[in-house]
Amino acid sequence: MFNEVEGMIQRATSGEIDQSSVSQAAEEHISAIDPSQLTQHLQTAADNANQNGQSGAAQQIMGLLSQHRSNLEGLKGQVVSLITSNPEILQHFEPGFAKGILGRI
């Protein structure tokens, strides 16, 4: 499953999959997730990014979490924007989360 997700992420980052498709898929998937689960997914992604030496990505993710702790619905919109503008960030999320988005494209 991981190789499948990697291939889809590559297609999204290369422009083979257009940004509006990524945005729509991310919005559909994220809107269905409970906000507390989303914060767990984000924490995991930040931890994975740090472990992979991607401190910039980890800081972006943690910044969203700290900015929107009291507005978890607002967090959803910011996560969609982050994924739309940086689909490669999906590599830090659990494969099931990334596949939930990429499988909708």
Q: 17-61: per-residue pLDDT in tens?
A: 888 998 999 999 999 999 889 999 999 999 999 999 999 999 999
If 0-12 CB within 10 Å is exposed, 13-18 middle and 19+ buried, where does residue 104 land?
middle
Specify the residue for token string 């991981």: 2
Q: Which two tokens stand for residue 56?
A: 């910039």
Q: Is 1's pLDDT higher than 60?
A: no
Q: Which alpha helices (H) appear in the chain, and where do they start and end?
A: 2-14, 19-31, 35-51, 55-67, 72-85, 95-102
Domain count along the chain: 1
Q: Which domain holds residue 55?
A: 2-102
pLDDT digits (tens, 9 = 90+) for 56-89: 999 999 999 998 878 878 899 999 999 999 998 9
Report which of 44, 18, 26, 23 is spatially closest to residue 100, judged by C-alpha positions: 26
